[in-house]
Chain A
Amino acid sequence: GAVVSQHPSWVICKSGTSVKIECRSLDFQATTMFWYRQFPKQSLMLMATSNEGSKATYEQGVEKDKFLINHASLTLSTLTVTSAHPEDSSFYICSARAGLGDYGYTFGSGTRLTVV
């Protein structure tokens, strides 16, 4: 079936540094990828919609200059958390639709970011 590979699975970084998270669609082309953030014991909050070859669409309240999204190819989307701070610590998950007729969404395994 359709697989989205997300890396790294966890990362610890110092305040003020930047962290890049990658999501790759392994056996399909993902023209659109969605980035979510999940706080402990809470639901997934949509951060942005990433479209191949164009600018991402950010949800209200999400800082586009802090969470840089690049979708340069049909199989790769990246989220870069710039100048990270402890409040950015969270679980980040990407998702893509595998082009199935029944709205099959596939999720990456998630990245746990801890900023110290």
Chain B
Amino acid sequence: GNSVTQMEGPVTLSEEAFLTINCTYTATGYPSLFWYVQYPGEGLQLLLKATKADDKGSNKGFEATYRKETTSFHLEKGSVQVSDSAVYFCALTSSGNTPLVFGKGTRLSVIA
């Protein structure tokens, strides 16, 4: 079945540091890939997505590229801010109306 593996946290960075959160997946066919962010006590918000190989999703300075050859979708940001502190989830779906499969989440803490 489909699965997502992402690096375990917590990750603690200083403000303006470079961020990478690794995500790899196992899936049949050509899944769509997502990154979601969860702030404390809140639901999930879509951060970015990519629906086919070599697509790059980007939003709020975050980027991730769909790499089919390495089955990866690593999240990157060049300069993190304190306000980026949250839990980040990598997810995938194989078809339009099936539920998302999530990784375990990576907690990011950015300190000033």
How many residue pairs link A and B with beta carbons under 8 A? The number is: 51
- CB atoms of B49 and A6 under 8 A apart: no
CB-CB nearest in chain B for A41: B107
Among the 9-residue stretches A65-73, A76-84, A98-106, the one with 4 or more Cβ atoms under 8 Å from chain B is A98-106
How far, in angstroms, from A34 to B100 measured CA to CA in the complex? 9
Cβ contacts under 8 Å, A97 to chain B? 96-97
Provide the bound-state CA to CA distance between A108 and B45, in Å.
9
Contact assessment for B43 and A103 in the assembled complex, using a CB-CB cutoff below 8 Å: no
Binding site for B on A (CB under 8 A): 6, 31-32, 34, 41-44, 46, 49, 93, 95, 97, 102-110, 112
Which B residues lie at the A interface, using CB under 8 A? Answer: 32, 34, 36, 41-46, 49, 51, 89, 93, 96-97, 99-100, 102-105, 107
